[in-house]
């Protein structure tokens, strides 16, 4: 049941909210919590009911391990924590990496048994990392103990179950425990619906239109040894914008859906393409995953406490494992390694400018756009590897775009654009549609939205839409959202544009992780 489906938007979500509000009349929150647990189980089971047993078993086992870790004075926290981490990583490893590992052994002749077909359970990467963080936090005495029903909702709460954010126990449990009939329900609904409308527009209109540019070009890269440089650049930049709007759209819909229940999720996406360095990108992109990798992996390896060489080693290891978390493929490993390299170069550059006294020069307004463009280009090179079918295909695109410049190859895109919303609008007003002119309009719209407009959190900061990291306050935008008629019209237009474009339902990119 995808966020951008009719089933979710017009049946599941409204019914879940309606019953939740009816149950809010009860003297405690337990009935509301039970209802949200049942709704979340139904949401998960709508994919493959047989995997309910897997996720329920994972929840039960981790809850019991957490209770054992929370017992005072046992003196045996480390063995229980080790057992819990091994259980979770073993579960993730079996379903996600068995085929990848056995294929590798088979390729070098060390395995002769056919590789079994294993279906990757939905959201296994997210609920696994979330529960590992919970066990570590319990061992550090950073969590209070709650009832099983509360813990189950913490793991299964459907707005963040499938693709994050990866939440902390201490962020969510106090909110679940204090749900009551609220005087601010109208504001919560206005904020939530606005976020959902913005997220749908980003996914259905922007990301899916950009996919129609990127998909045929990446497919062509697997069938040829060179692309026209225009097509190669379009492939890289179109997918770079596609994954931006796809994940930003998912994050907005998750935030909006949770807000309908009066729940705030952690901020997970903050205009990362406005970043002036790769370090800053990872402070803005999938912020809760970056937090997990930093707090539970990078720091555990020693962080930056053991000298420059080990710091860079730890960065590379962390990013390679972060890449592998995204999927069992060499393209993800290489993508992670590239980001590890970029981070090492970025830290080296920062150290050099500090020693050379060039910090103020690098912060001048004249150089900032150059750093933004350089960062975006580096990100795009890496994201080509992320998207490509295999490593050789990614090199064909990168080589054609940035190394072997060639404009003599035939252009790939055809004269149609799959009857998208933009094509229908242009046809309606009498503008003839030619593929590359429409591509230009879509790409220009992506550029303007990414770099010229504030993000949804900045627009709505007065209404406290997300849990913000203590060390990263959000600066209010020049314009400010208000629950007024004007913004209701804007929200309605975004919803209308999205619904007009929902001719087919496409998965979010991060749903595959």
pLDDT of residue 163: 85
Q: Is residue 211 part of a domain?
A: yes
pLDDT tens across 462-483, in order?
898 898 876 677 777 777 888 8
pLDDT of residue 118: 78
Whether the Cβ atoms of residue 397 and residue 235 lie closer than 8 Å to each other: yes
Residues 168 and 214 in one domain: no
Task: Quickly state the pLDDT bin for 433 (edges 50, 70, 90).
Answer: very low
pLDDT of residue 431: 44
Residues 201 and 141 in one domain: no
Inform me whether the pLDDT recorded for 428 exceeds 60: no
Residues 125 and 215 in one domain: no
User: Domain residues for 206?
Assistant: 188-512
Residue finishing a domain among 150, 180, 210: 180
Q: Is residue 1 part of a domain?
A: no
Residue among 392, 417, 391, 408 at smallest CA distance from 224: 392
Inform me whether the pLDDT recorded for 73 exceeds 80: no
Number of domains in the chain: 2
pLDDT of residue 499: 87
Inform me whether the pLDDT recorded for 17 exceeds 70: yes
Inform me whether the pLDDT recorded for 105 exceeds 90: no
Query: Among the listed ranges 134-143, 333-342, 425-434, which one has the minimum average pLDDT value?
Result: 425-434
The catalytic position among 168, 286, 326, 339 is: 326
Q: Let me know if 18 is exposed, middle or buried by CB neighbors in 10 A (0-12, 13-18, 19+).
A: exposed
pLDDT tens across 227-283, in order?
888 889 999 999 999 999 999 999 999 999 999 999 999 999 999 999 999 999 999
Residues 216 and 305 in one domain: yes
pLDDT of residue 162: 87
Inform me whether the pLDDT recorded for 183 exceeds 90: no
Query: Among the listed ranges 144-148, 242-246, 347-351, which one has the minimum average pLDDT value?
Result: 144-148
Residues 28 and 172 in one domain: yes
Residue, of 236 and 427, whose pLDDT is higher: 236
Q: Is the dihedral of CA 425, 428, 431, 437 positive or negative?
A: positive
- Residue range 449-470: mean pLDDT, rounded: 88
Residues 201 and 140 in one domain: no
Q: Is residue 128 part of a domain?
A: yes
Q: Is residue 327 part of a domain?
A: yes
Residue, of 62 and 306, whose pLDDT is higher: 62
Residues 368 and 239 in one domain: yes
pLDDT of residue 75: 60
Q: What is the full DSSP assignment across 77-114?
A: HHHHHHHHHHHHHHHHHHHHHHHHHHHHHHHTTS--SP
Residue, of 57 and 176, whose pLDDT is higher: 57
Residues 397 and 258 in one domain: yes
- Residue range 352-375: mean pLDDT, rounded: 88
Residue among 224, 241, 240, 242 at smallest CA distance from 396: 224
Q: Is residue 138 part of a domain?
A: yes
Residues 153 and 204 in one domain: no
Q: Is residue 395 part of a domain?
A: yes
Residues 297 and 158 in one domain: no
Q: What is the pTM of this model?
A: 0.91
**Percent of the chain beyond pLDDT 70?**
92
Residues 26 and 175 in one domain: yes
Q: Is residue 89 part of a domain?
A: yes
Q: Does residue 347 have an active-site annotation?
A: no
Residue finishing a domain among 180, 198, 218: 180
């Amino acid at each position: 049941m995808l966020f951008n489906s009719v089933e979710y938007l017009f049946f599941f979500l409204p019914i879940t909210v309606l019953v939740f509000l009816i149950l809010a009349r009860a003297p405690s929150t337990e009935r509301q919590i039970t209802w949200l647990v049942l709704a979340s189980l139904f949401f998960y089971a709508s994919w493959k009911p047989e995997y309910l047993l897997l996720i329920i078993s994972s929840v039960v086992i981790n809850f019991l391990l957490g209770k054992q870790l929370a017992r005072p004075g046992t003196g045996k926290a480390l063995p229980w924590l080790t057992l819990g981490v091994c259980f979770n990583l073993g579960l993730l490893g079996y379903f996600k990496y068995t085929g990848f590992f056995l294929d590798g052994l088979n390729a070098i002749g060390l395995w002769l048994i056919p590789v079994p077909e294993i279906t990757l359970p939905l959201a296994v990467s997210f609920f696994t990392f979330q529960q590992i963080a919970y066990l570590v936090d319990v061992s550090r005495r950073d969590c209070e103990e709650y009832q099983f029903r509360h813990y189950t909702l913490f793991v299964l709460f459907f707005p963040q179950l499938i693709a994050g954010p990866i939440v902390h126990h201490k962020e969510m449990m106090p909110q679940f425990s204090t749900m009551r009939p609220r005087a601010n329900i109208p504001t919560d609904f206005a904020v939530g619906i606005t976020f959902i409308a913005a997220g749908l527009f980003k996914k259905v209109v922007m990301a899916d239109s950009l996919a129609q540019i990127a998909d045929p070009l990446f497919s062509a890269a697997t069938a040829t040894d060179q692309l026209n440089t225009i097509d190669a650049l379009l492939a890289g930049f179109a997918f770079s914008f596609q994954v931006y709007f796809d994940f930003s759209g998912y994050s907005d819909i998750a935030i909006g859906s949770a807000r309908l229940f009066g729940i705030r999720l952690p901020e997970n996406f903050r205009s990362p393409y406005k970043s002036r360095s790769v370090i800053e990108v990872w402070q803005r992109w999938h912020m809760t995953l970056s937090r997990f990798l930093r707090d539970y992996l990078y720091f555990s390896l020693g962080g930056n406490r053991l000298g420059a060489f080990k710091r860079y080693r730890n960065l590379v290891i962390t990013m390679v494992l972060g890449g592998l978390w995204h999927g069992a493929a060499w393209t993800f490993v290489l993508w992670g390694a590239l980001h590890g390299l970029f981070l090492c170069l970025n830290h080296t550059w920062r150290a050099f400018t500090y020693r050379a006294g060039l910090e103020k020069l690098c912060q001048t307004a004249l150089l900032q756009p150059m750093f933004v463009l350089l960062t975006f280009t580096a990100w795009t090179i890496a994201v080509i590897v992320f998207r490509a079918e295999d490593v050789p295909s990614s090199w064909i695109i990168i080589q054609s775009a940035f190394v072997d410049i060639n404009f003599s190859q035939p252009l790939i895109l055809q004269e149609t654009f799959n009857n998208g919303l933009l094509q229908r609008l242009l046809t309606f007003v009498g503008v003839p549609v030619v593929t590359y002119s429409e591509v230009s309009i879509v790409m220009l719209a992506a550029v303007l939205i990414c770099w010229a407009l504030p993000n949804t959190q900045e627009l709505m900061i007065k209404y406290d839409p997300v849990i913000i990291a203590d060390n990263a306050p959000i600066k209010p935008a020049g314009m400010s959202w208000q629950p007024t008629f004007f913004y209701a019209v804007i929200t309605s237009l975004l919803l209308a544009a999205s619904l007009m474009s929902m001719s087919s339902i496409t998965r979010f990119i991060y749903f595959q992780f």
